A and B are shown apart, each in its own frame.
Chain A
Amino acid sequence: GDSVTQMEGPVTLSEEAFLTINCTYTATGYPSLFWYVQYPGEGLQLLLKATKADDKGSNKGFEATYRKETTSFHLEKGSVQVSDSAVYFCALPTDTGRRALTFGSGTRLQVQP
């Protein structure tokens, strides 16, 4: 079935450092791809999404490009802030077509001042 694989965490960075969190996927066809973020004590929030190959999703300074050649959807940010500390999840719709999401295992980001 469809699945996503994320890089292991935790990732610890200093403020203003460059961030990359890797995500690769296995899917039949070209599903939409999502990044969700979970701040401490809060529910999951959609961070960004891309609906087709070569699309770039962006929000709050974060970007991810849907690359079908490498089956990847890596999350990047040029300059992280302490407030970006959270757990980030890559996700895609399940292969049942019913739009429930299959999530990666999550990557914890800790940004130090």
Chain B
Amino acid sequence: EAGVAQSPRYKIIEKRQSVAFWCNPISGHATLYWYQQILGQGPKLLIQFQNNGVVDDSQLPKDRFSAERLKGVDSTLKIQPAKLEDSAVYLCASSLDLQGPSTDTQYFGPGTRLTVL
């Protein structure tokens, strides 16, 4: 079974530029998550989708971050304009079903490391 795919793996941009990250979850997984992991910290949820609907975006800085999951499969996370403090690893994860058991395992992609100069 293919895992969660993310691209690009690395990105370096200047502050105030825009950037987009792409995620392809495991086939059949209804729930998709984007996490931000700042160096030395644990991942923090940015946004959670169930199919193509947003379940939780309370921690997403909506003045600069946006995300979509068209057709309930792939997802794109965008930052515009980027700030220095956005330097982090952006992790995408997927799980089978939000309505399933509470131990429903989340599967993580390798992440995109963003450096904002």
Q: Which residues of A contact B (CB under 8 A)?
A: 31-32, 36, 41-46, 49, 51, 89, 91, 93-94, 96, 98-106
A100 touches B48 (CB 8 A): yes
Contact of B42 among A41, A43, A89, A96 (CB under 8 A): A89
Contact stretch, chosen from B12-20, B63-71, B78-86, B102-110: B102-110
Are A101 and B41 in touch, CB under 8 angstroms? no
Nearest-CB distance from A92 to chain B (Å)? 10
Residues of B in contact (CB 8 Å), total: 27
B residues with CB within 8 A of A = 3-4, 31, 33, 40-45, 48, 55-56, 91, 93, 95, 98, 102-111
Contact of B108 among A43, A102, A104, A106 (CB under 8 A): A43
Shortest distance from the beta carbon of A44 to any chain B beta carbon, whole Å: 4
List 30 A-B pairs, Cβ < 8 Å: A31-B102, A32-B103, A36-B108, A41-B110, A42-B110, A43-B3, A43-B4, A43-B108, A43-B109, A43-B110, A43-B111, A44-B91, A44-B108, A45-B108, A46-B107, A49-B105, A89-B42, A89-B43, A91-B42, A96-B56, A98-B55, A98-B56, A99-B95, A99-B106, A100-B45, A100-B48, A100-B56, A104-B42, A105-B40, A106-B42
